[in-house]
Amino acid sequence: MKEIGHWINGKLVKGTSGRMADVFNPATGEVQARVALASKAELDAAVADAARAQVAWGATNPQKRGRVMMEMVRLINRDMDKLAEALSTEHGKTFPDAKGDVQRGLEVIEYSIGAAQMLKGEFTDSAGPGIDMYSMRQPLGVAAGITPFNFPAMIPLWKMGPALSAGNAFILKPSERDPSVPLMLAALFQEAGLPDGVLQVINGDKEAVDAILDNETVQGIGFVGSTPIAHYIYSRGCAAGKRVQCFGGAKNHMIIMPDADLDQAADALVGAGYGAAGERCMAISVAVPVGEKTADELVKRLIPRIEKLKVGPWTGGNDVDYGPVVTAAAKANILRLVESGLASGAKLVVDGRGFKLQGYENGFFVGPHLFDHVTADMEIYQKEIFGPVLSVVRAKTYEDALKLAMDHEYGNGTAIFTRDGDTARDFAARINVGMIGINVPIPVPLAYHTFGGWKKSSFGDLNQHGPDAFRFYTRTKTITARWPSGIKEGSAFNFKAMD
């Protein structure tokens, strides 16, 4: 059976801890590989090597670092299908969805080409008599990223691109559930010209995470995952004096106003709620129609669309709408929450519990579910399900709908569908959520803007990609300089004195 190790000092190496974890094919339920789980000693050795490599890399001018990113863009485009296939095989995403995962990461690498512009400091001439003042942005040194299973290409690239182009060495601890794509990306970075040791990919579990948190050389940590783990990493990392940004769970609402185009809204909800089997932190999991008539008409349009969804393996072609969830445990948790919704009194108008796929009976497939008449006190409303389950919560008024989203503990993304500009402007101004969509169901900003939620969806002051990424991965140093006037006559700069 295939064994997956680590990427250390520019090459693949086997793990030495003796601990391994299974990597499943989610479509079949079979173990397809085993991945090494690093010990603290392995992690610390990789960090030490990275720190040594960072000295020369940090001293490399940002234009040259940007050229590595430029070549990385070419290589990712060259290997797009190969990366997407590996991603689909381990994660279960459809092939088009896997390519989208790689593409959104690629866009941050494209943005990172412009590191020289992002790293410029400020200058004030004659801040005082004979005094100039200026600032410079310098890399942290060694930074680390701890990334989730649901975007094994995109989120590692979101972390690696800005961190590396800013002059840091980087330690990536990807999810042990789908580890192959991050290792492939590391090999591409080396091919693009990144020096050995500047990027280390260490597979592991909590032992590796704690080793990153405890290692004094690691100066900054970026994390994406569940809120409890985000809070743990943020608290412990900050207590150790590190710079930390952590992004947690979500429960994203979409408000549908009575004046909305309901066919457009229904299409948007199906794509945003069930795409990638709902395993997205920006998935819409709560639809909030305003008014009973709006709710009845929306549900009427949703049911046939959801019932037509095709669930299957990524090898099923482009007509497969979504694939399996990542593990048997994830499937079991989703179905448990469905039962909780029924027990709480919600109406299950599309029931996917009995879904079976011929030839893939042991795969981790979950049929699509649609709940109506969900209320805010139900577990299926309060918790992030992370599966193909959409809940309809009926609101009497716009203010009631707004309050639902504002009162929820998560604040990652939200959307409103309306034809009224005044309502949309009011919504965008008042809602306490980090990313807003107006007639856009999944409001993920492009690479040159910043990505991040509010409330328990985010811990830390700076967000992912965009200008915030370069602020996070660098420190500002401010210099005040005074050069007293010297004796110019007779100096070495006087041509007469040089005759």
Dist. CA 146–CA 464, nearest whole Å: 13
Per-residue b/e over 200-230, b at no fewer than 16 CB within 10 Å? Answer: bbbbbeeebbbbbbebeebbbbbbbbbbebb
CA distances, 304 to each of 249, 257, 263, 268, 401 (Å): 30, 21, 12, 14, 25
Nearest of 158, 78, 76 to residue 111 by alpha carbon: 158
Compute the C-alpha angle 166/168/169, nearest 5°.
145
The C-alpha torsion from 366 through 311 and 274 to 335, rounded to 10°, is -10
Check: CB of residue 133 under 8 Å from CB of residue 127: yes
Dist. CA 468–CA 124, nearest whole Å: 23
**CB within 8 Å of 196: residues ≥ 6 apart:** 9, 10, 11, 53, 190
Phi, psi of 35 (to 5 degrees): -115, 140
Dist. CA 446–CA 12, nearest whole Å: 32
Considering the candidates 140, 144, 254, 281, report the single residue annotated as catalytic. 281
Check: CB of residue 79 under 8 Å from CB of residue 65: no
Would you give the end-to-end CA distance of the chain in angstroms?
80
User: What is the DSSP annotation of 443-497?
Assistant: -PPPTTS-B--EETTEESS--BSSHHHHHHTEEEEEEEEE------TTSTT-TTT
Nearest of 58, 42, 36, 39 to residue 9 by alpha carbon: 42
Reply yes or no on whether 281 is catalytic.
Answer: yes
Nearest of 396, 402, 389 to residue 432 by alpha carbon: 402
Q: What 3-state DSSP class applies to 32?
A: strand
Residue ranges in 28-79 assigned as alpha helix (H) = 40-59, 62-78
Check: CB of residue 105 under 8 Å from CB of residue 154: yes
CA distances, 423 to each of 254, 393, 441 (Å): 14, 20, 17
In terms of DSSP bridges, do strands 218-224 and 252-256 run parallel, antiparallel, or are they unpaired?
unpaired
Q: Across-strand partners of 417?
A: 256
CA 462 from centre of chain: 14
Q: Which two three-digit tokens encode residue 384?
A: 């992030």
Give the catalytic positions in this structure. Answer: 281
